[in-house]
A and B are shown apart, each in its own frame.
Chain A
Amino acid sequence: NAGVTQTPKFQVLKTGQSMTLQCAQDMNHNSMYWYRQDPGMGLRLIYYSASEGTTDKGEVPNGYNVSRLNKREFSLRLESAAPSQTSVYFCASSEASGGASTQHFGDGTRLSIL
């Protein structure tokens, strides 16, 4: 049982390049999330998908797009990378229920944009 798997683990890009961060979960969770983590800023929500077929903006969506490919996979795309997008990106998933449920995180992708 791998939980939440993110690829790649590290990536260096040049300004203006594009790339897609991949995330997959094997816990049959309905909801998935993308966060970025910057020093002193905590975890900030970029986009989330409450269920398959739906996506919504979080706190910091500008410069990003997402795709909920199926129930297992939720990808994050940077169309034209900027140095301000240098960060650690975490994907998470949780069961969707009437009550609160735990979010499980992947190991993160460390992205540097030169």
Chain B
Amino acid sequence: GENVEQHPSTLSVQEGDSAVIKCTYSDSASNYFPWYKQELGKRPQLIIDIRSNVGEKKDQRIAVTLNKTAKHFSLHITETQPEDSAVYFCAAREKSPNKLIFGTGTLLAVQP
């Protein structure tokens, strides 16, 4: 089955800097890659996603890139703000009906 690895496990940046979180996946048939943000004590919420027929997608300060050949995808956050501090999870969708396999998460701390 699918296996998703996520790095780094923790990331500390200064406010205004950029942050990059990277994930790799094992199943070349996976075709959907969402990113979730989870604030402390809250539910995970989708922030951006990308499908396998697209190489890059942007939404204001966040972007996701996908390299299907290398089987990795990355989340990029520019001009980070303290409210970006949270745990971020990547996921890959297995070919079986809409089942997501999650990475282990990255704790992002944005220092003011």
Contacts and interface: CB of A to CB of B under 8 A. Distances in A.
B98 A40 contact: no
A90 B99 contact: no
Interface residues of B, number: 23
B46 A102 contact: yes
Q: Which of B32, B44, B46 has the most CB of A within 10 A?
A: B44
Given A31-B97, A48-B99, A100-B93, A40 B9 contact: yes
B110 to A, nearest CB: 21
A94 B9 CA distance: 27
A97 B51 CA distance: 14
B102 A42 contact: yes
Range for the number of chain A residues in contact with chain B = 20 to 34
Nearest to A51: B97
B42 interface: yes
Contacts, number: 56
A41 interface: yes
Interface string B4-36: 001001000000000000000000000110100
B44 A105 contact: yes
Interface string A88-110: 00100010110111110111100
Nearest to A49: B97
Contact of A40 (B44, B45, B104): B104
Q: Which of A42, A97, A99 has the most CB of B within 10 A?
A: A42
